[in-house]
Amino acid sequence: MKIHRNHQPQARLVSRQGQFPLNIVKLGVPRLHFADLYHRLLTLSWPRFFILICLFYIVTNSLFALAYLAGGDCIANARPGSFPDAFYFSVQTMATIGYGAMYPRTDYANTIVAIQALFALWGVAMVTGLAFSRFSRPTARVIFSRVAVIAPFNGVPTLMYRTANQRFNQILEAQQRATLIRDEVTPEGEFMRRFYDLQLVRSHSPIFALTWTVMHAIEESSPLYQLTAQDLMEQQAEIVITLTGIDETVSQTIHARHSFVASEIMWNMRFVDILLKSATGGRVVDYTRFHDVKPVEEKL
């Protein structure tokens, strides 16, 4: 059986922003389902969310303005047939402003006002809840090195990458997992995208405040054992990193994720030291060199 491989530049399974997987097409799944509307509104960017709320506000008041106009001259002190006056009266009703200049003077207008007041109560509660949920979502300000490196460590080839907490607080009980994803063909000729857990030298940190260089020893039990850079490229390999912990400020679980494709794994390179000491003996972290690497003398 002949397997046709895609020789285009390697696609990343995990986006840099950690929002959603990239280059994945789901056939037969509706783009937007009403039951998933809440999740969609939470994941919208802030500019799009703000524009959506503004459009909802304008459209809603416009519809109620048309309803008032359908009742004829039913708003006191409003110009008969004036859409702007009906629109501004709708705005005042929805926002419960009540200047007193315009007011309903027919049973029809009072009925529409009662309906709009109920709708406004529901709408304000929903928008307030959505805005609060978006603001209160726990987020992690964790950065990952742009590249991972493979270099000798204690005489063993070791995969290493660097992470850091950008906030001036601590992440408690931080845990990291690394997973190798690569293309394989089974003895039966079936193509598969397989996942392999990478055993980390230290996967847990009780207090994550500064930087953390995560290591995976490439020993005989490692799925990376005896692989070369060319092998990783041919297998469309990707290393996916997930980090979870508890933010001490809000006491909520936070998470972050990142990935390294084969072209972002540097061989026979090592991260430069960024932990320094000040003149007074204090600890200094030089984040300007966080992503910098240097060649090692002993090559693999």
Work out the percent of the chain whose per-residue pLDDT is above 70: 88
Question: What CATH code is carried by the domain that includes residue 220?
Answer: 2.60.40.1400
Q: Which of 136, 168, 203 is the last residue of a domain?
A: 136
13 belongs to a structural domain:
no
The 10 Å CB-count burial string (b at 16+, else e) for 269-281 is bbbeebeeeeeee
Q: Which of 84, 107, 136 is the last residue of a domain?
A: 136
Whether pLDDT at 278 is above 90: no
Distance of CA 75 to the CA centre of its chain: 48
* Residue 173 structural domain: 142-295
Same domain, 192 and 116: no
Highest mean pLDDT of the ranges 24-33, 38-47, 143-152, 246-255: 143-152
- Say yes or no: 218 and 95 in one domain: no
Contact 86/68 with Cβ under 8 angstroms? Answer: yes
- Residue 130 and residue 158 in one domain: no
- DSSP assignment of 272-292: PP-EEE-TTS-EEE-GGGTT-
- Looking at residue 223, what is its pLDDT? 94
**Token pair recorded at residue 46:** 């802030």
Q: What is the pLDDT of residue 12?
A: 66
- Quick check: is 15 in a domain? no
Last residue of a domain, one of 93, 113, 136: 136
Has residue 257 got a pLDDT over 70? yes
- Asked whether the beta carbons of 216 and 236 are under 8 A apart, the reply is no
Residue 3 lies in a domain: no
pLDDT in tens, 81-130: 999 999 999 999 999 888 889 999 999 999 999 999 999 999 999 999 99
Beta bridge partners of 294: 270
**pLDDT, the chain, mean:** 88
| 65 domain-assigned | yes
Q: Are residues 284 and 166 in the same domain?
A: yes
Compute the distance between CA of residue 296 and CA of residue 149 in angstroms, rounded to an integer.
Answer: 11
Q: Is the pLDDT of residue 3 over 50?
A: no
Asked if residue 4 is part of any domain, the answer here is no
Mean pLDDT of 248-268: 92
Return phi, psi of residue 160, to 5°: -135, 145
Q: Residue 21 domain-assigned?
A: no
Q: pLDDT per residue over 133-184, tens digit each?
A: 998 888 888 999 999 999 999 999 999 999 999 888 899 999 999 999 999 9
Q: 188-227: per-residue pLDDT in tens?
A: 888 999 999 999 999 999 999 889 999 999 999 999 999 9
Please report the pLDDT score of residue 195 as a whole number: 95
Flag whether pLDDT at 280 surpasses 50: yes
Q: How far apart are CA 70 and CA 67, in angstroms?
A: 5
Q: Is 247 inside any structural domain? A: yes
Q: Are 170 and 111 in the same domain? A: no
164 and 213 both lie in a single domain: yes
Closest CA to 250 of 171, 143, 175: 171
Q: Same domain for 42 and 131?
A: yes
Check residue 147 and give its pLDDT: 95
The total domain count for the chain is: 2
Residue ranges with strand state E in 113-230: 142-144, 148-153, 156-165, 171-185, 191-198, 204-208, 211-217
**pLDDT at residue 236 tops 60:** yes
